[in-house]
Amino acid sequence: MFRHERLKGTSDASPERALVTGATSGIGRATALRLAGRGATVCLVGRNENAAETLRAQIEDMGCQVLVILADVSDGHAVERAVRSFAEAYGGIDTVVASAGIAPKGNATETSIEDWKQCISINLDSVFYLARFAMPELIKTQGTFTIISSDAGMWGDSDFAAYIASKHGVHGLMKSLALDYGRYGVRTNAVCPGFVETPMADKLLANLSPEKLEALRKAVPLARFAQPEDVADVVAHLSSDAARHTNGTEYRLDGGKTCGHYKP
């Protein structure tokens, strides 16, 4: 357990209240578990009911309270209801983590209009909706808003036009949130991983040969992909008092990949 990271003003009697989107898989799931590990009450927002219920049971076994809200984060009204339901149930919100995302493959001429709209809606619009409705709660608690972005927000990449565009948009939004709400004590940051070994990444890499997969790993100076827990640890830090002066940061969690041209 990580109760030594407990947020200022919280206790066993008054635990941190954390809302995580995309909480039923990959980075979101690892983050929900990590925050529960420091005693937080966690709101799991996602679409996979079976996965959500399994995670609920795991968090409850840790001795923490948990609320499951099944919602499509690309629907602004659904996000509003989720935020309101959690805030009303537990008296407010201290921590928000925007982790929902998809990564359709294709350049501009290959990407369908439907795939483009879905990617922008889930990866970018959902973050705006979450900020739109959660910021009033975070202002009350001087809380944190952490976005799971990608190294794709730091540079370009071929064959991922919609994904790259969505993540660059996320970074612009993050900077605006940091500037607009920092004055109220709300800190907004983005975590920017490279490849993370999640179900989404597994799909992207499924058709690669072992040789190509190994080459991708070796292209990272640390010679490995991240684990979801690596990202969750960074979220835990950024949403803690240890990062109390960190606002508007693009935290590169890519093993050094975006430092420059690397020769393995």
Catalytic residues: 163
Residue 93 in contact with residue 141, Cβ under 8 Å? yes
Residue tagged 């830090």 (tokens): 237
Distance (Å, whole) CA 193 – CA 150: 5
Distance (Å, whole) CA 130 – CA 38: 23
What is the helix (H) or strand (E) element at residue 141, kind and residue range? helix 126-141
Give, in order, the Cα–Cα distances in Å from 189 to each of 23, 43, 162, 209, 241.
18, 20, 22, 36, 14
Q: Which two tokens stand for residue 10?
A: 């919280």
Residue 102 in contact with residue 126, Cβ under 8 Å? no
